[in-house]
């Protein structure tokens, strides 16, 4: 599955990779509005799933919102390599000092992931490989180990980077390699990764997810459903419904000495399907050692929630603790306890149990 640039950027950004401010639009007047919000000078980028879009006329610049509207109209009338342009990404114009290349893919010959980085980006990496092979560093990743900061620094030093650039660049290498691994990617690429006076920014983004992994990448649907998801630094993954319950769950965890790793708010009236996606999304975060599900049934039905949990429980490598109250509570609790799920009656007990199980998991 190939993702659009704006989708890939939003995933990269959720991992902490800096991206330009911007918004996807489907009409010229929206493009004008976004350009106004961004201060006038913008880049308009056709969202199509083919390479070489810049060369094919799919990237245009505008000096002010009126021009952005006109340029958007031109872009919407194009078809690039046979594909109609239906969405544009309107972004702040970056002041680019230098363009780099960073990508991860699979080296099928060696059966390993490989990271490639070049001090010359923006152009086809194949061209650089032919002309100046020494400007590309190729680094195979050990599938049994994580990718360590010292390895990122080694790559950067080989390319001749030093000083203040090392830190932000190595952060981006580490984060992109996490995206690559956790999202079952075939390709995760930033070309160009740009140096600007504001820092290092991913000016373009490409992400292709292995189709054979889509069954466990239901997480992608969370984004489509627009469910609020936030990443934090602790060990306890949290699934809740409603912003108030999210806050009280996190306060309770912290009060008892735990730290949330992330939280996902499944909103009101969530189906078993949404609950299933939520679990698959939350567990993707590598910090998660245990999952705490705290649901208050109103329009949400506890039996639906239980069914969603049971669908994925067998695939979960971390323990799950559930607290369910409200509509159809008895049915939901029965389904869960019959399946041997850790169920707690109060939020405090559930948080305590999650913290304890999370500690065991990290030893
Ligand atoms: P691609 O052709 O589909 O790979 O599109 P990219 O997003 O990589 O953009 C192509 C080129 O447009 C980049 O290499 C940059 O040189 C240029 N470009 C893209 N965004 C900006 C920007 O914000 N400011 C400037 N000055 N150039 C940009
Ligand atoms: Mn590009």
Query: Which pLDDT value is given to residue 315?
Result: 81
106 compared with 81, residue with greater pLDDT: 106
Percent composition of the chain: helix, strand, coil (DSSP 3-state, to 5): 40, 25, 35
Q: Region 39-63: what's the mean pLDDT? A: 94
Average pLDDT, the chain: 92
Q: Region 102-112: what's the mean pLDDT? A: 95
99 lines ligand 1 (CB under 6 A): yes
Q: Is the pLDDT of residue 362 over 60?
A: no
| pLDDT tens readout for residues 199-223 | 999 999 999 998 877 766 665 656 5
How far, in Å, CA of 222 to CA of 103, rounded? 25
Q: What are phi and psi of 263, to 5 degrees?
A: -145, 150
Query: Which pLDDT value is given to residue 165?
Result: 96
Q: Region 283-307: what's the mean pLDDT? A: 92
Q: Dig out the tokens for 258 from the structure.
A: 């735990």
Query: Which pLDDT value is given to residue 223?
Result: 59
46 lines ligand 1 (CB under 6 A): no
Q: Region 141-154: what's the mean pLDDT? A: 92
222 lines ligand 1 (CB under 6 A): no
Q: Region 120-147: what's the mean pLDDT? A: 89
CA–centroid distance, 69 to ligand 1, in Å, is 19
CA–centroid distance, 112 to ligand 2, in Å, is 24
Q: How confident is the model at residue 194 (pLDDT cuts 50, 70, 90)?
A: very high
| CB contact set of 247 (below 8 Å; sequence gap of 6+) | none
How far, in Å, CA of 318 to CA of 288, rounded? 8
Q: What are phi and psi of 259, to 5 degrees?
A: -135, 125
For 90, half-sphere exposure in the C-beta direction (CA atoms, 13 angstrom radius) is 34
123 lines ligand 1 (CB under 6 A): no
| Beta carbons of 242 and 268 less than 8 angstroms apart | yes
CA–centroid distance, 202 to ligand 2, in Å, is 10
* Residue of the CA atom closest to atom 28 of ligand 1: 94
In this structure, the strands spanning 342-343 and 320-326 are: parallel
Rounded-to-10 torsion of CA 32, 34, 35, 37: 130
| CB contact set of 282 (below 8 Å; sequence gap of 6+) | 237, 238, 239, 261, 262, 263, 264, 288, 291
Atom of ligand 1 nearest to the CA of 94: 23
Neighbours of 200 (CB within 10 A): 19
Q: Is the pLDDT of residue 112 over 90?
A: yes
Q: Region 51-78: what's the mean pLDDT? A: 95
Q: Region 179-194: what's the mean pLDDT? A: 95
Q: Region 110-115: what's the mean pLDDT? A: 94
Residue whose structure tokens are 């505008």:
62
Percent above pLDDT 70 for the chain: 96
CA–centroid distance, 124 to ligand 2, in Å, is 8
Residue whose structure tokens are 């419904």:
241
Cα 351 to Cα 184, 258, 305, 344, 348, distances in angstroms: 31, 8, 18, 9, 5
Q: How confident is the model at residue 224 (pLDDT cuts 50, 70, 90)?
A: low
Report how far apart the first and last C-alpha atoms of the chain are (Å, whole number): 36
Q: Is the pLDDT of residue 158 over 80?
A: yes
Q: Is the pLDDT of residue 322 over 90?
A: yes
Element containing residue 103 per DSSP (H, E): strand 98-107
In this structure, the strands spanning 79-80 and 83-84 are: antiparallel
Q: How big is the CA angle at 194 (ends 8 and 14), to the nearest 5 degrees?
A: 30
Query: Which pLDDT value is given to residue 220?
Result: 61
Query: Which pLDDT value is given to residue 361?
Result: 67
CA–centroid distance, 111 to ligand 2, in Å, is 26
| CB contact set of 82 (below 8 Å; sequence gap of 6+) | none
89 lines ligand 1 (CB under 6 A): no
54 lines ligand 1 (CB under 6 A): yes
The catalytic residue positions are 101, 189
Q: Is the pLDDT of residue 187 over 80?
A: yes
Q: How confident is the model at residue 108 (pLDDT cuts 50, 70, 90)?
A: very high
Mutation choice for ligand 1 from 192, 193, 196, CB with most ligand atoms inside 8 A: 192
Atom of ligand 1 nearest to the CA of 191: 8
In this structure, the strands spanning 320-326 and 290-297 are: parallel
The overall pTM is greater than 0.85 = no
How far, in Å, CA of 279 to CA of 284, rounded? 9
Q: How many residues does the chain have?
A: 363
Q: Region 100-122: what's the mean pLDDT? A: 95
Dihedral angle sign, alpha carbons of residues 279, 282, 287, 291 = negative
């Amino acid at each position: 599955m190939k993702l659009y640039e704006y989708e890939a950027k939003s995933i990269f950004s959720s991992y902490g990779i800096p991206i330009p401010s911007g918004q996807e639009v489907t009409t010229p007047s929206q493009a004008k509005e976004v350009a106004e919000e961004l201060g006038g000078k913008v880049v308009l980028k056709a969202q199509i799933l083919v390479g070489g879009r810049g060369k094919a006329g799919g990237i245009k610049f505008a000096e002010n919102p009126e021009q952005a509207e006109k340029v958007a109209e031109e872009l919407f009338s194009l078809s690039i390599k046979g594909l109609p342009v239906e969405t544009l990404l309107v972004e702040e114009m970056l002041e680019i000092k230098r363009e780099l290349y960073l990508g991860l893919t699979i080296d099928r010959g060696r059966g390993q992931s490989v990271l490639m980085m070049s001090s010359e980006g923006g152009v086809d990496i194949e061209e650089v490989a032919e002309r100046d092979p020494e400007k590309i560093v190729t680094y195979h990743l050990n599938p049994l180990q994580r990718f360590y900061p010292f390895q990122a620094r080694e790559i950067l030093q080989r390319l001749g980077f030093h000083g203040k650039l090392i830190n932000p660049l190595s952060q981006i290498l580490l984060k992109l390699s996490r995206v690559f691994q956790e999202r079952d990617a075939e390709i995760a690429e930033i070309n160009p990764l740009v140096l600007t006076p504001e820092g290092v920014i991913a000016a373009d983004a490409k992400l292709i997810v292995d189709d054979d992994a889509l069954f466990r990448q239901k997480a992608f649907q969370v984004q489509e459903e627009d469910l609020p998801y936030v990443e934090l630094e602790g060990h306890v993954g949290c699934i809740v419904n409603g912003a108030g319950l999210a806050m009280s769950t996190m306060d309770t965890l912290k009060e008892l000495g735990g730290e949330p790793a992330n939280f996902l708010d499944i909103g009101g009236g969530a189906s078993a399907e949404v609950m299933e996606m939520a679990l698959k999304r939350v567990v993707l975060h590598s910090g998660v050692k245990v999952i705490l599900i705290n649901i208050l049934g109103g329009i949400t039905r506890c039996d639906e929630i239980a069914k969603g949990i049971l669908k994925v429980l067998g695939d979960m490598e971390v323990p799950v603790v559930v607290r369910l109250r409200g509509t159809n509570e008895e049915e939901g609790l029965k389904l869960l306890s019959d399946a041997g799920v850790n169920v707690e009656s109060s939020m405090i007990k559930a948080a305590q149990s999650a913290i304890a199980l999370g500690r065991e998991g990290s030893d």
